[in-house]
Amino acid sequence: MKFYTEDGNWDLVGNNLGVFFIRDAIKFPDVIHALKPDPVTFEQQPRRIFDFMSQTPECMHMLVNLFSPRGIPADYRHMQGFGVNTYKWVNTEGETKLVKYHWMPKQGVRSMTEEDAANVQADGLGHATKDLYEAVGRGEYPEWELLVQMMDDHDHPELDFDPLDDTKTWPERDFPPKPVGRMVLDRMPADFFAENEQISFGTGVLVDGLDFSDDKMLVGRTFSYSDTQRHRVGPNYLQLPVNRPRHVDVRTNQRDGQMTYVVDAAGENPSVNYEPSITGGLREGAYPTHDEQGPEIRGRLTRARIERANDYQQAGQRYLLLQDWERDDLVKNFTDLISQCDRAVQERMVWHFLLVENDLGRRVGEGLGIMPEDVAHLEPLPGQSLTEEDRKRLASLGDNPPRDVEGLTMTHCVPDTRHVVTR
């Protein structure tokens, strides 16, 4: 989402699922490579995907969402949107809050099973874009509500997860989503390439008051997007009409380079493209906020993994909160895909799933012909940190009771209607 505000542009670069595979940006190329085609055969292969995932316990929450029908929205109009990472709001006093953003479609949420999606694709590609053009053309303008969850800006030692961990959602009973805005899509681009292909989003495209947090995935993303766009679109991608601010003049000494479009005469003296100067160049703007911002932080900087990994709990809760048809499709998809993997990967995935939720592990295991006894001997992965609860579950793998999800509402927990497609 690109907001052309009177203070410059603000991008909210999100996803249709509320969590992500990994929590450390350094692993991003690996997760993408595992999901992309094999570099030799150029075939996308479940055996490569689950090879990586089986060694990455933090991805369990994402997998439970992704391979359920929530991973295949019926179309854009019925799709939720999530900022996923934790951002930061700053007020004029320099006080900060941690926030997460969610978009809810007023049209309701609709998703497809793998079979529905295969039937749609048999008929042509790009069905979701077509649906959007046609709906807007008919004057049926889709709407989304923007909600935020807020937390005080500190470590929250009382929580069993890290607030800056993008593999986690914030329980809604503790952090109730508050509506802050509404988006109505009432027009489609006049030129797809100029306005869609060349639009460039980035998590560092921010206005004062809407900041990113110390979430290290988000910090990695913030470097990565503009780096890519200078290569993908060109060094002056920010000068393209779709990317430049619309409601404010850009005054900067960053200029020139290939495809320069703007004749930069922003200052009184066009020869001065540095600051400070006494001969009429641009002057630095008023400093927008307090020098001191947010809480005082003292600590040791490290490269260590976060302590509260807790990789299975929310994945298990989410599994139990899925609707029956979603759960059935999830189990079917896991079984179909993981059956194409090497035996060692299959066993490790069943081991993870039994720790996520007994029923999930047993059902996928049954489909693969792998019983809890077959995997009970597996040691935790090297460097893997288990919670007390995980260790208890491991001790009685295959016999654990369901987790307690009474009264729990997680992100995503709105009804999902199946969009049935037959051929």
- Binding positions for ligand HEM, rule: CB under 6 A: 13-15, 20, 25, 28, 84, 166, 200-201, 217, 220-221, 224-225, 228-229, 232
Of the pair 14, 73, the CB lying nearest ligand HEM is at 14
Q: HEC string of 134-203?
A: HHHHCCCCCEEEEEEEEEECCCCCCCCCCCCCCCCCCCCCCCCCEEEEEEECCCCCCCHHHHHHCCCCCC
| CB-based contact 200:225 (threshold 8 Å) | yes
Least Cβ distance, residue 256 to ligand HEM (angstroms): 22
Least Cβ distance, residue 394 to ligand HEM (angstroms): 29
Least Cβ distance, residue 236 to ligand HEM (angstroms): 15
| Burial class of residue 390, CB neighbours in 10 A (0-12, 13-18, 19+) | buried
Identify the sign of the CA torsion 234, 237, 242, 243.
positive
Least Cβ distance, residue 99 to ligand HEM (angstroms): 14
Phi, psi dihedrals of residue 386, rounded to the nearest 5°: -105, 145
Of the pair 40, 304, the CB lying nearest ligand HEM is at 304
Least Cβ distance, residue 315 to ligand HEM (angstroms): 17
Of the pair 67, 351, the CB lying nearest ligand HEM is at 67
Of the pair 234, 267, the CB lying nearest ligand HEM is at 234
| CB-based contact 19:11 (threshold 8 Å) | no
Of the pair 232, 247, the CB lying nearest ligand HEM is at 232
Q: What is the number of other CB atoms lying within 10 angstroms of the CB of residue 274?
A: 9
Least Cβ distance, residue 36 to ligand HEM (angstroms): 13
Secondary structure class of 101 (helix, strand, coil): strand
Least Cβ distance, residue 234 to ligand HEM (angstroms): 12
Please choose, from the candidates 397, 363, 352, the residue with its C-alpha nearest in 3D space to the C-alpha of residue 61: 352
Least Cβ distance, residue 197 to ligand HEM (angstroms): 9
| CB-based contact 145:104 (threshold 8 Å) | yes
Of the pair 242, 266, the CB lying nearest ligand HEM is at 242
Residue 192 has which token pair? 């797809």
Of the pair 13, 64, the CB lying nearest ligand HEM is at 13
Please choose, from the candidates 169, 165, 227, 173, the residue with its C-alpha nearest in 3D space to the C-alpha of residue 200: 227
Least Cβ distance, residue 240 to ligand HEM (angstroms): 12
Of the pair 57, 81, the CB lying nearest ligand HEM is at 81
Of the pair 221, 327, the CB lying nearest ligand HEM is at 221
Of the pair 111, 243, the CB lying nearest ligand HEM is at 243
Secondary structure class of 122 (helix, strand, coil): helix
Can you spell out the DSSP letters for 297-361? -------PPPS---TTHHHHHHHHHS-HHHHHHHHHHHHHHHTTS-HHHHHHHHHHHHHH-HHHH
Least Cβ distance, residue 233 to ligand HEM (angstroms): 7
d(CA 327, CA 323): 6
Residue 413 has which token pair? 């927990």
Of the pair 47, 230, the CB lying nearest ligand HEM is at 230
d(CA 211, CA 221): 13
Least Cβ distance, residue 205 to ligand HEM (angstroms): 11
d(CA 149, CA 99): 5
